[in-house]
Amino acid sequence: MKFLDLAKVYVRSGGGGAGCVSFRREKFIEYGGPDGGDGGRGGDVWAEAVGGLNTLIDFRFQQHFFAKSGQHGMGSQRTGASGDDIVLSIPVGTEILDEDQETVIADVTQPGQRVLLAKGGNGGFGNLHFKSSTNRSPRNANPGLPGVERTLWLRLKLIADAGLLGLPNAGKSTFLSAVSNARPKIADYPFTTLHPNLGVVGVDTYEFVMADIPGLIEGASEGRGLGDQFLGHVERSRVLLHLIDGTSDDVAGDARTILNELAAYSPALAEKPRITALNKIDAMEPDEIAEKQAALQAELGGKIHLMSGVSREGVTDVLRALWSEIAPSRQPVEEKDSGSWQP
């Protein structure tokens, strides 16, 4: 299935049906009076988060969603039928934006969560509603209210516990394939990954979800390479894993490039907890490893993990470091499941 994380949709709720002007005329009934029914209300347009979806590709082939209008009222005090609602099934983690692509209408983060996008118009009153002691035979009725028409944007941000960052060919896809059942494309040229990938990672007795996004290069915030359009998929992550290619001539410069692009995209993303790992140590000599680890520590500070996605050396230690950052967000859920959690 093709990956699509941004879609434009046009929605319109149904208009309300008009009220009816009618009078009761039956044999042997001397005073019939008004009996016009109300119009039915128009259908609503809803968005609902559905588990199992991870792309907006369905909205490439259908962008217009129109709910049915309500039927007009009828005689004998009959109310018109209401229009059917329309429900847009969207992946969990989708943001619904107004036409300006900046105003967030809703952020759908839970399966089954529903958002009203356009409310249907109310039906008009029939002439029965206007009957009074001074107006025994009203000959007027209300028209139904029109529906609401809107242009909206859907932007998908994958929900993952950990996100992978790095320059092209830093070994992100190799790492993800080594620690999970995900099978991203792996090759020896830049920008092998063209869209985000998700994998379920296990360490010790715990599991968490990891997201791999296409590599960043200097100037990504200005549109170079694939740009920073996929950084939104790691915004929801609890922790970021920054992989640095150990075979590069300037590991400190590579690390700084990624941090600069993160800061240019979002200061909040740049401040997220981050685990830094020097990758591909299986292709390096011990003295070279020590030299480049020291260079990274001088540039970034903190601990620099050593690992290889190919030989799996040091991978478990990196996964445990990631889990230590993710665990606090899981603790209330686990305690509640065990019966010891208190609100």
Residues making up the binding site: 166-173, 191-195, 212-215, 279-282, 308-310
Give the DSSP letter of residue 90: E
- Residue 115: C-alpha distances to residues 11, 53, 107 (Å): 13, 17, 9
For residue 52, give every residue at least 6 positions away whose Cβ sits within 8 Å of its Cβ, in sequence order, or none: none
Q: What is the DSSP letter of 23?
A: B
Q: Which residues are annotated as a binding site for Mg(2+)?
A: 173, 193
CB atoms closer than 10 angstroms to residue 31: 6
Q: How many CB atoms sit inside 10 A of residue 146's CB?
A: 15
Phi, psi of 58 (to 5 degrees): -60, -30
Torsion of CA 240, 309, 251, 254, to 10 degrees: -50
Pairing of strands 274-279, 304-306: parallel
CA dist 31 and 36 (Å) reads: 15
CA angle in degrees (0–180, nearest 5) for 185-187-188: 155
C-alpha 46/C-alpha 147 separation (Å) is: 14
Residues in a beta bridge with 112 = none
3-state secondary structure of 289: helix
> Please, where are the H alpha helices in 56-105?
58-61
Residues 6 or more apart whose Cβ sits within 8 Å of residue 33? 23, 24, 131, 136, 137
Residue ranges of the annotated binding site for GTP are 166-173, 191-195, 212-215, 279-282, 308-310
Q: 64: part of which helix (H) or strand (E)? A: strand 64-66
Q: What is the rounded distance in angstroms from the CA atom of residue 174 to the CA atom of residue 42?
A: 52
What's the rounded Cα separation, in Å, for the pair 295 and 308?
18
